[in-house]
Amino acid sequence: MTDARWLSKTEMDAWMSYVAATHLLERRVEEQLKASGLTHAQYEILAKLSASAGRRLRMTELARQVVVSKSGLTYQIGQLEKRGLVERTAHPSDDRGVLAVLTEKGVRCLERTAPGHVAVVRAFLIDRLTPDELRTMTRIMTKAAEATTSAAGPRLGTPSPEPSPLTWGG
């Protein structure tokens, strides 16, 4: 394990803060959404469909936007279909394409759920940061998202000049 590029104390502190904050925020969001019978993933699907032209998106595009696998999206859409919040329909100009469509019932569910969701996001993140911090956070998270989706991506396993088993970045 001497070829690992260990985290410095500053890097470890940043990583652990990120991990704790994202897990705790996700827990708060899930708790709030539970009252509507939605998971965070399902809420994101409804929100993306609501914001799209005609409240519909091709399934592959929706999967990309909500950052889930095609099979994961298919499962979530199935759950939302059972509740009448979303329906699938054939793409009008592509026989192989399938569209996910937000139903009127889905719109009403989103209208009931969104205010509480936004309140949680504001209370536990947005309202605690200055406008400059929000811009910085956006730049940082955009870099991270780009790195994880880039074909080149960072090189894994690059040795560090001074590895330390005390800062492993778990």
In this prediction, residue 164 carries a pLDDT of 38
pTM of the prediction? 0.82
The domain locations on the chain are: 9-140
Kindly state the helix (H) or strand (E) to which residue 102 belongs, with its residue range.
Answer: strand 94-102
117 in Cβ contact with 29 (< 8 Å): yes
| Apex 10 CA angle, 138 and 21, nearest 5 | 50
The region, left, alpha or beta by phi > 0 then psi within -120 to 50, assigned to residue 150 is: beta
pLDDT at residue 1 in the model: 52
Structurally, what CATH architecture does the domain formed by 9-140 represent?
Orthogonal Bundle (1.10)
Alpha helices in the chain (DSSP H): 9-34, 40-51, 59-66, 70-82, 104-124, 131-149
Low-confidence spans in the chain with pLDDT less than 70: 1-2, 151-170
The pLDDT assigned to 151 comes to 59
Q: What pLDDT sits at residue 158?
A: 39
Yes or no: say if 98 and 90 are a contact pair by the CB < 8 Å rule. yes
